[in-house]
Each structure stands twice: as structure tokens, then as C-alpha cells.
Structure 1
Amino acid sequence: MTTYAKNKVIIQSHDDKTTQVLSGLDFSTFQLTITKNEAYQLDFTANDDGSVGFNLLTVENIVIYDGQKYVIKQVTDDNTDGKHTITVTAMHIFYQLNNIFQFNVKTGDNSFTLTQALKFLFNGVSGGYSYRINGTFNSSKTLTDFGNTSVVEGLSTLKDAFNVYAIVPDNMTINLYDEKSYVKKTYKAFRYRHDTSSMQLQYDSSTMVNRVQAVSTAETPAFKPFIVQDNDSINKWGVHDGARVESDSITDTNAMKTLASQSFILEPTISITVVSTENDGVAIGEQWHVLLPDSALSTAVEVVSVVTMPLATTAVQVTLNNNRSNFLDAQRVKSEDLKQASGKSSMPMWVIGEV
């Protein structure tokens, strides 16, 4: 593929016959959003300068930026007060796989390795797409009636079945990673008021699960339905039921308990969002530290989303992962803050959950 300067935005017709630099781009509107396993997207507005590039801004044409191809999916053609602009949303070319299907089906229950499942999913798929496995996925999994699906939906099925940590497109090559191969330690830190102007911590208990029902769905059930629960989490947070866990092949109740417990989310999650000046120095998959000196919070976090305006500003909005260790670090700090606040107050205090 032709190499283009990073600060150039190229527009290409979907038949590859016409390629032009977008000279009318409003740099202040150019936004790149990358979120792990979710979004690879460009948004921008261009002014009508009569150029070929401007007139190529129509759906299904290609935007090329920083070596990656994005397909224009939404266009707003705006004429206001004598000014003609076009606003564009373009999705990474990976998402064309939403509209490319594997129509064949492996009927019934079939055992696959990840390599075998990907080979089946991509067999005969048009468009020149390929895949690459990064890391170790040794175990085989049983997939039921696998096929008759878009490739993106098929990849989602494999992600869940094989515990694929991240799916990252590189143009038409789809990379699948285990956690060890994906997360990169940087030994860098976001320090509030030093290189980070804004830091938000969002807590969420809505996804918690600490009790489920285990059910055998074999033709002759191997055991009666029973409850699997985590008592420590229930004692701390109350009961949070999840969907029942079924298996038509497990006959041992201990093995079923292990399977059921894999659906647990025992603590609330925490999502940390920061605004940093480290524009070129932040990428998804990197591990940073977050430091909030006023409350002594220090926790290791993975960058899961980056939103940048790379052609207009050095500021970058970064969302960091919400795992159990991050939540416990934050809770430790909040407990200390509560103790200090309680010691300073001479007024009676309300305690949540008690009257």
C-alpha cells in the first residue's frame, strides 16, 4: 500500500480509480476514535473548495489516514448561509465484514481449535481479508451450528468461546490477541495536574453477578438445577443474580460450578477517563499508571479507548480499563478519605444502608 504523510487525509473512490488529497478539510473537526473490540472511526467536516477530493466525499468511498483505510458510512451535505460543507463518519475497512457472510454451517456440536474455526469462518470469503493469531490458544472448544453468519458476528462468537482478549484490524488483516501478547507495559503515568488536566472515575454496579443457577440441559439431565454463588461478594454487596448457566455435556457438579463461576463479576467496575497532552504517546493496549496525588490513588491501568484530534490539538481523551484491582485500589483510597472525613466531623453521620 502507498505510504502517505500522517497529516494528510486521502480520499479514494471505491473502485480505486481516483485518489486525491482532501484539501478542504477543517482540521479542527478531524477526530479519530479507537476503542478496543468496539470502534475504529473517523469523523470530520470538509469545506467545498471545488476540488476532486471534496466531491469524492460520498458513502462507500475510502478515507486513508495514517496508513489505514476507512469506509465512508454517513454523510451530511450541509448548505447554510451560502456555505457548503460535508460532514463524514467513516468506519475502518474491517467493518465491511459486517456485510460479508460465511453461509456454510457446521451443523450440530463440533470441536474446533481457534485456527480451525477461523479457517472455516474465512473460507471462500471475498475481499482479500485475512487473519493472524498472536499468542497462545491451545484448547479446543465446542461450537454449535457454527456458520451462516457475518464474519464480524463469527469473530464475536470466537472471541467469547476462546477468550480472545483483543481483536485489532490492520487494514484487511485481522489480528487476534491473547492478553499477554496484547498488553504492553510502558512504565508511564498520567498524573493529575501535571500532564493530565481532567480525571474522572466512574463506578458502576449494574453489571455485577454473584449468584447464578446451574442447569444440565442434556437429554437426560446429569443433575438437578442448583445455585452457585460467591458468599464474600454477597455479604459485601448483596445478591446480584445473573442468567442461568447451561451445559448439555458436563456431568460433574464441581465442573459445572467452575463453569458457572466464570460468569461472575464480583465487584463494581470502575472506568477512568483522563484528558492528557500525551497525544502521540498513548495507544490502546498500553499499560499506564494513574496517579491522583490529592487522594493517594495509584493504580496500573490499560488504555482501552483513545479519542484524538490529531490535526488540531495535542490533547487526547483516554479511557482506562475497569478491572477488579483498579476498583479495589480506588475503594481503599475512598475508605481512607471516609475515615478522615469522619474524624473531622462533629455532626452525626448517615451510614449508607443503616438507619
Structure 2
Amino acid sequence: MAYQKNKVVVQSRDKATTQVLTTFDFNALQITRTKNEAYQLDLTAYDDSSVAFNLLTIENLIIFNGQMYVIKQATDDNAGGIHSINITAMHIFYQLNQLYQWNVKTGDNSFTLQQALKYLFDGVAGGYTYRIHGTFNGSKTLTDFGNTPIVEGLSTLKSTFGIYAIVPDGLTINLYDEKSYVTDTNKVFRYLYDTAQVQLQFDSSTMVNSVQAVSTAEKPAFKPFTVKDNASIAKWGLKQGARVESDTITDTNAMKTLASQSFVLEPTISLTVTTAVNETVTIGEKWTVQIPAQQITTKVEVISVVDFPLSPTTPQQVTLNNTRVNFLDVQRAQLNQLKQAQTNEKNSAVGNMWTVGEV
């Protein structure tokens, strides 16, 4: 059944009762989407004694702009004579957290991505389907694959096959490689021109530049050894991570390659932008962020959007990616600023120097 755009529809879990919700805070209805992490709807509704209001209970459904959400949190609030309810509803994709593939393919088995998805979804309730976008060549080995919640199984396939983005659309799960997912808009967020706020958040807590490589075969192929990135250690200090194990790799060079994949050699940077009201931004787009006063220019991917689709005056909150190249762009600008500040301070000291002597 199709529902009118921008209408909030509430439906009972058994789909026997469907009503349009009318008494809620239009400006505060919020859609949050984060790549590979979150897709949810939040709203606050007010008691008008309607059927729609009374349908706002756990596990009932909200339908909005072609997507279906399951109410997971409901806070019943009575204050100042007003009865309201605050709702957090997760996209129906996340019902797959509680749907299992009970079967298990024991031992090491070779799968293509298509074969692995077919096995994972075989016999799963709910009418879910999947679609692959892009190219995922070759087969990968999966060990004891199965006996897992479907979302956890998808996470395993994401890391094994290098899936860049998993995007739900209704009951269809879309799996993308990077080329098929990312769109370069050639547009710019320019601070104080078309965006009122840009925040840069730096974090070094996840850095790793040294790990131990261990063979866990019945007869170890090599003694444990350390894999390090000396340039990162010289720059940031020693940041050790969890040891990397393999029971199949026998070549130390191959093991070094595997171990180095766990490295995070630079601090991460997250950029948060408040957009212009009339600008629409979508996750997966690439934008250029400019902060002219700090000489920062870097191209970034939108990884999270908080949208207020029924509020004409509330801008989107956009979070952009934290790749190594973005950190280096910002660090380069900061070093230039530091050098300029040091030069300014030196010139100021020279210009204000007093000469002591006789007159």
C-alpha cells in the first residue's frame, strides 16, 4: 500500500489497524542515518485521544516517506497537564538483529558473495531480499558460517568481502562497493558562506602502529613476531593493538600484510557541518569542506545525516568521514598556521625591543 509523502502513518504490529498521526511536533520529527550503523526515526506526539496516538506502543510500526520503522523505545510523559509520548523507531532492517540463520556450514568453506548471501537468508522470515551493486570478484573462505543473527552475518560478509556500504530500502538490503556507492557532487561547504558551523573533532584513542603476529596452526608455521610501522611510531609514539592470528598462513610476508591491515596510523578526524536550510545532503555524497580563515580545504564523504524533513527552517546536521587524507589536509593547514603564528610572534618581539643605554 502506498502512503502520501510526508504523512506519518502508525500501524499495529499485525497490520490490522492503520491510522494517520496528526498531533505531533512537526519541527522535531527527526530521521538519523549513519552509514553501516543507524537508521532511525524520532518524534514526540501529543495525546488527542485518537486511535493513532494510542497505537504508539512498542513493536508497532511507523511508515514515513516510503520507509517502515519499528517502535523500539517509547517514553510516556506527563508534565504540566500535557500527556505526550517520545518515540524512537528503528528501520525495519534492524529486525534482522532478532532473526537467525540457525543452520551452520561447518569448517572452512569457499563462498562467493552471492552464494554466502543465499545461504545466510535461506528460510529467514519477513520477506527480506538483497541486491548487490558493483563488483565483488572471487571467492572467500568462511569458517563455521551460520548460526548467527542476520545482521551479524552481514557484518561478517562486510569485512570478508570488503563491502563498502550496506543500505536498507524497505525490505531490500543493498550491498555496495565503493565505486557504486560514493557520488562526487563537486559541491562545497564553505564556512560562514553556506554553512554557519563546522566542527573538527580529533581522536587518537583508536591508533594502532604495532601488533604481534601469531601462527595458531596445530604446528605453528613461525614464531610470534612483531609488525610495526616505524614512521607512525616516530611521529606519535608506540600504539600497540591486539595480536593478529592465523591458522592457515605459513608465509611471514603474507602474515605481515594481514597484520598491517589492523593499523590505524594517524588520529581520526570527524567533521560536523550545519547545512544551509535550502540544501539537501545525502549519505554517500562527496563534498569539499573549506574553512578559509584556517586555510583548510579537504574533500570528504558524508557518512551521517540528521534530517528534520517536516521543518522548513531546521538545517540538516551532517557528519563527514575521517580518512587519513582528511587528517593530513587539516594537519598541514594547522602546521602552516603554527609557523605563521611563530613568525608573527618573532616579528612582534623584534618590533617592541627596547635598547638600554645613556641619553
Supply the distance in 1 between the matched residues of 2:28 and 2:301 (Cα, whole angstroms): 27
Match of 2:174 in 1: 175
Superimposed CA distance per residue, residues 122-163 of structure 1 (whole angstroms, 9 cap, x where no aligned partner): 000001001111111113222111111110111111111111
Match of 2:192 in 1: 193
Supply the distance in 2 between the matched residues of 1:60 and 1:127 (Cα, whole angstroms): 14
Superimposed CA distance per residue, residues 164-216 of structure 1 (whole angstroms, 9 cap, x where no aligned partner): 11110001110111111110111111110111111010111111111111111
Describe how 1:85-164 pairs up with structure 2 within 5 A.
85-164=84-163
1:279/1:314 contact within 8 Å kept: no
Residue 314 of structure 1: how far off its partner (Å): 3.7
Match of 1:324 in 2: 324
Supply the distance in 1 between the matched residues of 2:299 and 2:168 (Cα, whole angstroms): 26
Match of 1:341 in 2: 341
Supply the distance in 2 between the matched residues of 1:12 and 1:92 (Cα, whole angstroms): 14
Q: What amino acid maps onto 1:122 in structure 2? A: F
Match of 1:231 in 2: 230
Match of 1:352 in 2: none
- Structure 2: runs of 5 or more not aligned: 350-359
Supply the distance in 1 between the matched residues of 2:80 and 2:9 (Cα, whole angstroms): 28
Q: What amino acid maps onto 2:28 in structure 1? A: T
Supply the distance in 2 between the matched residues of 1:120 and 1:132 (Cα, whole angstroms): 14
SS in 2 for 1:311: coil
Match of 1:281 in 2: 280
Superposition RMSD in Å: 1.4
Supply the distance in 1 between the matched residues of 2:85 and 2:237 (Cα, whole angstroms): 52
Describe how 1:47-62 pairs up with structure 2 within 5 A.
47-62=46-61
Determine which structure has more spread, i.e. the larger CA radius of gyration: 2
Match of 2:354 in 1: none
Comparing 119-128 and 269-278, the one that deviates more: 269-278
Residue 14 of structure 1: how far off its partner (Å): 1.3
Q: What amino acid maps onto 1:331 in structure 2? A: Q
1:279/1:308 contact within 8 Å kept: no
1:169/1:175 contact within 8 Å kept: yes
1:61/1:71 contact within 8 Å kept: yes
How many residue pairs get aligned? The number is 347
SS in 1 for 2:14: coil
Supply the distance in 1 between the matched residues of 2:20 and 2:158 (Cα, whole angstroms): 37
Comparing 309-318 and 177-186, the one that deviates more: 309-318
Residue 291 of structure 1: how far off its partner (Å): 0.7
Q: What amino acid maps onto 1:306 in structure 2? A: V
Supply the distance in 2 between the matched residues of 1:11 and 1:195 (Cα, whole angstroms): 37
Supply the distance in 1 between the matched residues of 2:80 and 2:240 (Cα, whole angstroms): 56
- Structure 1: runs of 5 or more not aligned: 349-355
Residue 79 of structure 1: how far off its partner (Å): 2.0
Match of 1:209 in 2: 208
1:106/1:146 contact within 8 Å kept: yes
Superimposed CA distance per residue, residues 89-135 of structure 1 (whole angstroms, 9 cap, x where no aligned partner): 10000000011011111111212111111111100000100111111
Residue 220 of structure 1: how far off its partner (Å): 0.9
SS in 2 for 1:197: strand
Supply the distance in 1 between the matched residues of 2:279 and 2:270 (Cα, whole angstroms): 22
Superimposed CA distance per residue, residues 16-57 of structure 1 (whole angstroms, 9 cap, x where no aligned partner): 122111111111221111100111011110111122211111
Match of 2:12 in 1: 13
- TM-score norm. by structure 2 comes to 0.94
Supply the distance in 1 between the matched residues of 2:94 and 2:113 (Cα, whole angstroms): 21
SS in 2 for 1:302: strand
Supply the distance in 2 between the matched residues of 1:65 and 1:141 (Cα, whole angstroms): 38
SS in 2 for 1:50: coil
2:131/2:175 contact within 8 Å kept: yes
Q: 1:140 to 1:90 in 2, by over 3 A?
A: same
2:200/2:269 contact within 8 Å kept: yes
Q: What amino acid maps onto 2:76 in structure 1? A: D
SS in 2 for 1:132: strand
Residue 278 of structure 1: how far off its partner (Å): 4.8
Supply the distance in 2 between the matched residues of 1:278 and 1:248 (Cα, whole angstroms): 54
